[in-house]
Amino acid sequence: MSYVIGPACIDVNDRACMDVCPVDCIYEGDRKSYINPTECIDCGACEQECPVDAIFVDRAARGDETRTLFLEDSRNFFLEVLPGRTKPLGNPGGAGKVGGLNVDTETVAGYQA
Measured over the CA atoms of residue 72, residue 12, residue 91 and residue 18, the dihedral's sign is: negative
Q: Which helix (H) or strand (E) holds 35?
A: strand 33-35
CATH number reported for the structural domain that contains residue 46 in this entry: 3.30.70.20
Could you read off the pLDDT of 61-74 as tens digits, one per residue?
Answer: 999 999 999 999 99
pLDDT at 13 over 90: no
Alpha carbons within 13 A on the beta-carbon side of 59:
2
Sign of torsion over alpha carbons 9, 11, 17, 21: positive
Per the structure, how many domains does the chain have? 1
pLDDT digits (tens, 9 = 90+) for 15-73: 999 999 999 999 999 999 999 999 999 999 999 999 999 999 999 999 999 999 999 99
Would you state the pLDDT for residue 1? 72
Range of the domain at 65: 3-109
Whole-model pTM: value is 0.95
